[in-house]
Amino acid sequence: MKFAIVSKGDNRSEQIMATMKQYLTDFQLEYNEVEPDLVISVGGDGTFLEAFHSYVHRLNETAFIGVHTGHLGFYADWVPDEVEKLIIEIAKTPFQIVEYPLLEVTIRAKSGGSEDRFLALNEATIKTADGSVVFDVEIKGEHFETFRGDGLCVSTPSGSTAYNKALGGGIIHPSLDAIQLTEMASINNRVFRTIGSPLILPKHHTCLLKPIVDRSFLIAIDHFTTNYTNVKSIQCRVAEERIRFARFRQFPFWNRVRESFVSDDNN
Ligand code: NAP
Ligand code: MN
């Protein structure tokens, strides 16, 4: 089996990376950054997002696992003390795979017909540095509302505990193939009206955002933001592709939610 390691870059993560690389190589596994079967992220959730985007072009061939060197991570759920155990597990077991849904975002330009397509593990956010965003929101080809406000967040189930949660969105179990739209400070008065609640869309219910007022948009895909002008539409839907996690033990999603947000003791 071929593996690669992505580290946060701090001393602790670098040290864990070096240990894992050495031991796994001793177990006859091949270190290969180009075509890894397994990518190990050492750091936090931010590092995991980096690892995901570095290998997003080979999701069918690559599985991911995270070791966290900071506080509990959502994607990085092995602690440094367990690294030796994890190394043995990786070396000896054909691992189980757990898949989570992803968000597909397609940004189309007004002229020139160009389009950019992205996959997000957490979410896409659409904002502007230039007043409010104003766009028509279509769901499954039908006009739903005209949104005016700071922006919108469209998240995956596993991203529902990140930015989405801060916006009052619900936490969605990643076994559900869905995306969630949450508003950022929508303007609501007699003239402008939006639903106000987070919307959860199933697979194939495509959401299309069509700018009405010509603005430049700050479009973030996970941790990476790009400034777009000349935007005709932004299309969001549950992606066909999925992320594959290598699983060596159970750590149920709701336990992770509880340990991160409610209590990290076992009472
Ligand atoms: P960051 O500023 O370090 O991330 C913000 C926090 O979100 C960090 O504590 C990060 O954990 C945590 N996080 C990331 N993914 C998560 C998930 N799926 N569930 C729960 N917590 C999660 O920036 P970053 O590390 O590059 O992460 C980018 C993400 O930050 C974006 O995808 C977005 O979800 C989130 N974000 C949140 C807000 C907000 O809550 N108001 C605003 C902007 C961005 P680590 O410390 O382990 O990295
Ligand atoms: Mn971070």
- Per-residue pLDDT of 38-61, as tens digits, reads 999 999 999 999 999 999 999 999
Q: Per the annotation, does 123 bind a ligand?
A: yes
What domains lie within the chain, and their CATH numbers? 2-95+248-266 (3.40.50.10330), 102-240 (2.60.200.30)
pLDDT tens for each residue of 81-116: 999 999 999 998 789 999 999 999 999 999 888 999
CA of 98 to the centre of ligand 2 (A): 23
Is 72's pLDDT higher than 80?
A: no
Residue with the smallest CA separation from ligand 1 atom 3 is: 46
For 40, 72, 168, 236, the CA distances from 118, given in Å and listed in that order, are 22, 27, 25, 10
Does the annotation flag 150 for ligand binding? yes
The whole-number average pLDDT for the span 67-72 is: 86
Q: Quote the CA–CA distance of 89 and 66 in Å, as a whole number.
A: 14
Q: How many residues does the chain have?
A: 267
- Residue 163 Cα to ligand 1 midpoint, Å, equals 7
The fraction of the chain above a pLDDT of 90, given in percent, is 89
Q: Is 124 annotated as a binding residue?
A: no
Give exposure, 20-31, as e/b (b: 16+ Cβ within 10 Å): bbebbeeeebee
Catalytic option among 45, 81, 136, 264 = 45
Could you tell me if 7 and 43 are in contact, meaning their C-beta atoms sit under 8 angstroms apart?
Answer: yes
The helix/strand count (H/E) of the chain reads as 5, 16
* Cα–Cα dist 45/53, whole Å: 12
Told to judge if 26 belongs to the known catalytic residues of this protein, a careful annotator would answer: no
